[in-house]
Structure formats: C-alpha cells, structure tokens
Amino acid sequence: MTVTVRPPEVQDAAGMGVAHARMWLAHYGKFIDPKYLGRFDEAVLVDQWHRLLTTDLAGRRVAIAVEHGRVVGIAMTVPTIRTENVALPARNREVSMHYLMSEYQGQGLGRRLLEYVLGPQEPAQLWLPSGYESEKRAHRFYRRAGFLSDGAVTGREVNYGLVLNRMVR
C-alpha cells in the first residue's frame, strides 16, 4: 500500500466530496435522523469541498490520504468557534473531520492524517458521536493520541440526530 498524505488541491474536491459522503454514511448513516441525509449527498459535498478549496481556508488545516488518485481519508482542524450547546470551548483548535475508509484503518494512516493537521502535543478538542459501531475503536485511537473525554455532551438536534461526546488534550 502506497498512500500519500498531503494537502488537497482544487482538483481533489470531487474525490474528497465522494469520499467524505461515503465515509460519513458508512460510519454514521444508519444512526442519524433521515431528515439530515441529504446533507451527505456526494454532489452536495463535492460542491462544498470545491468552494472551501477555492476560498481562504480561514485557519483550517486540511489533509487528504490518496492512493492511486483515490481519496481514502480526510482530516481537518479548525479554530474552535462553536459551543455545541455546552460550556465554552475547551480548546482553541478542534478536529472537525477525521475520516478514513474502513479498509485502511489499523495501518497507521489515521495517525498520519491527524499528525498532518495537528501537532503531536498541540492542545485541541474533538466531538465523537455516541452509539455507533466503531465508537470504542475511535475512543482508543484518540486516547493514544492524548485525548481524554471531559464529560461534555451535546443534544441530538444540533448534530443530525446524534449525541456527541467531547474529548480534549
């Protein structure tokens, strides 16, 4: 397996949108309220990624994992601006996206993606959905990266019908 982790270019928007939709729906699709599924349509996400990659990234750090021209992973950190209806943000930077095709998990690629967008000791926060099949695996991954749950949770309505738990380092 030769997978390259790199920053995306505008021409990657199509592959990113397709991968984003497929990875998100594979992990969480059957757990979210059906009224939100349209937000994860491939064409919608291709358009969103194209707009993002052709504008000022405004403090976002984005990386993709690519194998033979196919996007197989995406990671992004952003300056924390939202509160998720809980107390003030715990950190100034947030892992807002960190997805990897399931067949690429367990090979160190998730760690490479995360390290591309976040320094190894850099303080950050992230939100993980509750009740999906890979939840325990995700918690183990992030604990190894230095994140711990701080007890903050969100309500379902602000997150496509999912409850999210916050982890910080």
Mean pLDDT, residues 10-16 taken together: 97
Residue 116 has a CB neighbour count (10 Å cut-off) of 17
Q: 146 pLDDT band (50/70/90 cuts)?
A: very high
> Can you read off the two tokens belonging to residue 13?
């928007």
Distance CA 50, CA 12 (A): 8
Chain centroid to Cα 17, Å, comes to 13
Is the model's pLDDT at 33 over the cut of 90? no
All structural domains of the chain, each given as residue ranges with its CATH number in brackets, are: 4-168 (3.40.630.30)
Q: 83 pLDDT band (50/70/90 cuts)?
A: low
Q: What is the pTM of this model?
A: 0.88
Mean pLDDT, residues 12-41 taken together: 83
Return the percentage of the chain with pLDDT > 70, whole number: 88
Q: Please calculate the CA angle 126-138-165 and round it to the nearest 5 degrees.
A: 40
Place of tokens 């760690």: 111
Q: What is the pLDDT of residue 46?
A: 95
> Can you read off the two tokens belonging to residue 42?
């491939």
Q: What is the pLDDT of residue 41?
A: 85
From the list 48, 41, 40, the residue with the least C-alpha distance to 162 is 40
